[in-house]
Structure 1
Amino acid sequence: MPDSLPVEKAYRILESGPVLLVSTRAADGSANVMTLGFHMMILHDPPLVGVVLGPWDHSHRALSETGECVLAVPTVDLAEKVVDIGNCSGSTLDKFAHFGLTPLPAEMVQAPLVGECWANLECRVADEDWVRRYDLWVLQVQRIWIDTSREETRLIHHQGDGRFSVDGDTLDLGERMVKWRDLMD
């Protein structure tokens, strides 16, 4: 008989997307960055991403005020910094300055890109219907930036309780995806 895991640990099995940093800029101009582990792709076209960000997060206010953020994708070399960012609040600390992160201007939103990250996705809130009930924001990606000069591109994935996995080899089975080929072009 297999071992059992408490149902509240379901995220340890299902959350496979990379850990993200969420950058926001509040209406007063202050920028913040937070760590985010709970997110999902919702649609391919338009590109919609669901993120769980609640009132317990300092960034919630800025996202509520502006409807904009940047989803920054850190690589494994930033793993310890990403965890440390998640263990403090932007209400008491300028995280960009404290953690030595470079806020770069975005093109479509006011929230800054995170210069040290491999990818940055500029997003706007597309749907707030689930925010009050589930703290689930539906974001539409407006622009994507990739740092092609980065040598380190392995992503980190939260498995819960401080455990992470790191990207390794890629298994490309794209030629077998015949049913979905038209959707992915």
Structure 2
Amino acid sequence: MDDLPISKAFTLLEPGPVVLVTTHDRHRDNVMTISWTMVLDFSASFAITTGPWNYSFAALQRTKECVIAIPTVDMIDTVVGIGTCSGQDIDKFATFGLMREQAHRVRAPLIGQCLAHIECRVVDFIERYSIVVLEGVAAHMDAARQERRTIHAIGDGTFVVDGQRIDRREMMRSKLPDGV
């Protein structure tokens, strides 16, 4: 085996999918690309990594709500474009032709082009690691959307796309103890 610089070890475990996080700061909407997300348990608890370097972070701190929008591979250039500019300088919804749709439980908008959305409230900021802990309050999926493959960032400017879904639910159910 070849050695890998320890500074690149994260590329072996980089989670996915890449998401778009929308915010509303009481005046206007914004969207940022986030490539580090984490499911915290079997409920609707999630974490993202962001901080003051992202313009949307101030809105997250102020309103304590957002939407996690899940784009598909056909949106990769939009996703990368959103992540390489600041909402402080431009209206990303207008620049990237994003369709705003009203969320049900938060003021941040849904993005009409995305496959799915999770409306969230912020429950904690873990400053030491730049982690924002979110609690999902509503979820939506576009069942009519043809493209369903999501994008996963490797962390070095390259991406992996989901492929075939393999179903092993029955096999896993047979291995669980009674009552689980």
Normalization by structure 2: what TM-score?
0.94
Runs of 5+ unmatched residues, structure 1: none
The offset of 1:4, in angstroms, is 1.8
Check 1:24–1:7 CA distance in 2 against 1; reply closer, same or farther (3 A cut): same
Check 1:51–1:149 CA distance in 2 against 1; reply closer, same or farther (3 A cut): same
Map of 1:42 onto structure 2: 40
The offset of 1:16, in angstroms, is 3.0
Q: For 2:37 and 2:65, how far apart are their aligned partners in 1? A: 16
Secondary structure at the residue paired with 2:123?
strand
Runs of 5+ unmatched residues, structure 2: none
Q: Deviations over 1:114-147 (max 9, x none)?
A: 111000110001223x1x2111011011111101
The offset of 1:179, in angstroms, is 2.9
Identical aligned pairs, as a percentage?
45
Q: For 2:158 and 2:179, how far apart are their aligned partners in 1? A: 37
Q: For 2:106 and 2:93, how far apart are their aligned partners in 1? A: 18
1:144 aligns with 2:139: yes
Map of 1:32 onto structure 2: 30
CA contact (8 A) 2:15 2:37 kept: no
Map of 1:175 onto structure 2: 170
Map of 2:22 onto structure 1: 23
Secondary structure at the residue paired with 2:149?
coil
Question: 1:1-185 alignment to 2 at 5 Å?
Answer: 2-27=1-26, 29-45=27-43, 47-128=44-125, 130=126, 132-177=127-172, 178-179=175-176
The offset of 1:89, in angstroms, is 0.4
Secondary structure at the residue paired with 1:126?
strand
CA contact (8 A) 2:150 2:162 kept: yes
Normalization by structure 1: what TM-score?
0.91
The offset of 1:9, in angstroms, is 1.8
